[in-house]
Amino acid sequence: MSASHNTSGSRAVVLGAGMAGMLAASVLARHVDEVVIVDRDRMPDGALPRKGLPQARHAHLLMSGGARVVDALLPGTVERWLHAGARRLAATAGLVVLGPQGWFPRLPGKQFLLSCTRDLLDLVVREQVLALPGVVLRDGTEAVALLGDPARVTGVRVRAEGAHGTEELAADLVVDASGRGSQAARRLTDLGLPVVHEETVDSGLVYATRIFRAPPGTEDFPLVSVQSDPRSRRPGQGSTMLPVEGGRWLVTVSGTRGGEPSGNAEDFEPFARGLRDPLIADLIARAEPLTGVDVTRSTVNRRRFFERLPAHPEGFVALGDAVATYNPVYGQGMSVAAQSAAVLRDVLRAEGVTAPGLAGRVQHAVGRVTGKAWDLATGEDINYPGAIGKRPPAAARLLRGYVQRMMWAATGDPLVLRALMDVMTLSEPMTHLVRPSVALGVARGPGPRAQAGPSVTPGELALWGLAPR
Determine the Cα–Cα distance for residues 156 and 169; give it in Å rounded to an integer: 5
Task: Output the pTM of the full model.
Answer: 0.93
Hey, what CATH topology would domain 204-298 get? Answer: D-Amino Acid Oxidase; Chain A, domain 2 (3.30.9)
Determine the Cα–Cα distance for residues 294 and 207; give it in Å rounded to an integer: 8
Degrees (nearest 5) of the Cα angle 356, 358, 361?
130
Residue 7 has pLDDT above 60, yes or no: no
Confidence of residue 2 (pLDDT cuts 50, 70, 90): very low
pLDDT digits (tens, 9 = 90+) for 66-94: 999 999 999 999 999 999 999 999 999 99
- Domain coordinates of the chain in residue numbers? 2-57+119-197+301-378, 204-298, 391-449
* Strands 301-304 and 324-325, sheet pairing: antiparallel
8 Å CB contact between 366 and 345: no
Determine the Cα–Cα distance for residues 119 and 62; give it in Å rounded to an integer: 12
Best CA proximity match to 62, nearest among 299, 330, 318, 245: 330
* Homologous superfamily of 2-57+119-197+301-378: FAD/NAD(P)-binding domain (3.50.50.60)
pLDDT digits (tens, 9 = 90+) for 433-469: 999 999 999 999 998 899 988 999 888 888 877 888 7
| CA neighbours closer than 13 Å in the CB half-sphere of residue 398 | 4
